[in-house]
Amino acid sequence: MGLPEVVKSIYQNVAVVQHMVHSRTRVYPQDVGATITLAADAVANTFGSWTQIVPINTVGFMYMVTGVVIEAADAATTYLFQLGFSIVNLTEPTTAQILGERRVLLPTPVGKATELLDIHAAHCPANAKLWGRLKTASVAADELEVSVVIIRHQEISNPIPRLTTWPWAV
């Protein structure tokens, strides 16, 4: 790669960084009266089932989740939620499709915790279904009502490949 191509690549990558900071966002679900309910298993520290957040074929470009808003919680406990994607309808995320996770402690009383929780996650392919699942510290099937914020993902010229293991492999 000659110097002009290197310079062009650097400019392009700087534009991607600028895009991440100044990109338009979209919230799911779009219906302000609706939320997505993630439910933990009734066994402490055990994930509940994967729940659809964004339906397949809804976002026609690569996208990233940049935040999660907790709309409501039914218990005061420690929550850990995980996000993943799938590209085939009716299939849950594989280990390689887990995007990231976030932990939050919600004290009593729990009402609406409308703060945007930043999440640093890998991108989803175009038209991918976004999923979420939850576990808590309690022995109840605790629930969180959530919405997510997404932005359009732009590739850089030399991306680091996604690991196919979770959490990480050496």
pTM of the model: 0.86
Distance CA 139, CA 123 (A): 33
What is the structure's pLDDT at 109? 59
Given a contact cutoff of 8 angstroms between Cβ atoms, the answer to whether 59 and 126 are in contact is yes
**Per-residue model confidence as pLDDT tens for the chain (170 residues):** 787 887 787 777 777 677 666 678 899 999 988 889 999 999 999 999 999 999 999 999 999 999 998 888 888 899 999 999 999 998 999 988 999 999 988 876 565 556 678 888 889 999 999 999 999 999 999 999 999 999 998 887 878 777 777 776 65
What is the structure's pLDDT at 168? 66
Give me the phi and psi of 145, to 5 degrees please.
-100, 125
What is the structure's pLDDT at 61? 95
Domains and CATH numbers, the chain: 25-152 (2.60.120)
Q: What is the mean pLDDT of the chain?
A: 87
What is the structure's pLDDT at 147? 93
Distance CA 58, CA 8 (A): 33
What is the structure's pLDDT at 157? 80
Token pair listed for 82: 């995980």
Cis bond leading into 109, ω under 30°? yes
